[in-house]
Amino acid sequence: MLVIGLAGGSGSGKGTASKQFKASGIPVFNCDACYHRMISRNGPLTRDLAEEFGDGVLKANGGIDRRALFARAFGDEKQREKLNAISHRRILLRMHEWIREREQAGAKAVLIDAPLLFEAGLDRECDRTVVVIAPPGVRIQRIVRRDKISREEAERRIAAQIPDEELRRRADCVLQNDGDLEQLKKQVEDFLNKIN
């Protein structure tokens, strides 16, 4: 079974590309969705993160307040490294279970949708890696609109992520997403045609 890793910085359009893979019949493990389940009330990561970053990262309902957590983690490299180490360990365990389940079900290929594919070392679990790249200005506009944060916060988020040049260097395939959805879909289809 072929394991494909998909990465892309915040606002790159990685989620849109992931949906296209899924529409093409490729099962998708979404690391962000897995993470969100794990930081909900009584989630397996909630207590670990509150112990490390303080009860100030908890919402009234007992889940993790992502904005409060990100404010702490993205402002300090050591804090971000702690957040990633705690989170990645749990996500990796669940991802391995999911891959085994898909393989037993007879899937020919699966996609691991992971914003931190390379930073977390998840690329080592993949046979092929794909990255989605978009111009910085486009990414900032998307983040501000999607997450309802300031331009400055969006810029800090991008600055804390792996640079596009590094993503290009490490990936097997680069999808350029500068706004044309049909063009992005075509690039995904071309990639799938090459590996089939």
Any idea of the CA torsion for 160, 162, 165, 166, to the nearest 10 degrees? 150
Position 80 confidence tier, pLDDT thresholds 50, 70, 90: confident
- C-alpha closest to that of 187 among 30, 53, 65, 12: 12
Please report, rounded to a whole number, the percentage of residues in the chain having pLDDT higher than 70.
100
pLDDT tens sequence across 130-189: 999 999 999 999 999 999 999 999 999 899 899 999 999 999 999 999 878 899 999 999
List alpha helices for the chain, DSSP H: 14-23, 31-38, 46-53, 66-73, 77-104, 136-147, 151-159, 164-170, 181-195
Q: What is the CATH number of the domain that holds 172?
A: 3.40.50.300
Total count of domains within the chain: 1
Position 111 confidence tier, pLDDT thresholds 50, 70, 90: very high
- Mean pLDDT score across all residues of the chain: 93
Rounded to whole angstroms, the Cα distance separating 71 from 49 reads: 14
pLDDT at residue 89, as a whole number: 87
Largest distance between two CA atoms of the chain:
49
Question: What value does the mean pLDDT take over residues 16-32?
Answer: 96
Q: Which of 31-35, 58-62, 104-108, 119-123 is predicted most confidently?
A: 104-108
User: Which residue would you say has higher pLDDT here, 54 or 196?
Assistant: 54
Assess whether pLDDT exceeds 80 at residue 75.
no
Question: What value does the mean pLDDT take over residues 100-106?
Answer: 97
Assess whether pLDDT exceeds 90 at residue 77.
no
Q: Which residue range(s) make up the domain with 70? A: 2-195
Tokens (6 digits) for 122: 């998840």
Q: How many residues does the chain have?
A: 196
pLDDT at residue 117, as a whole number: 93
Rounded to whole angstroms, the Cα distance separating 191 from 176 reads: 12
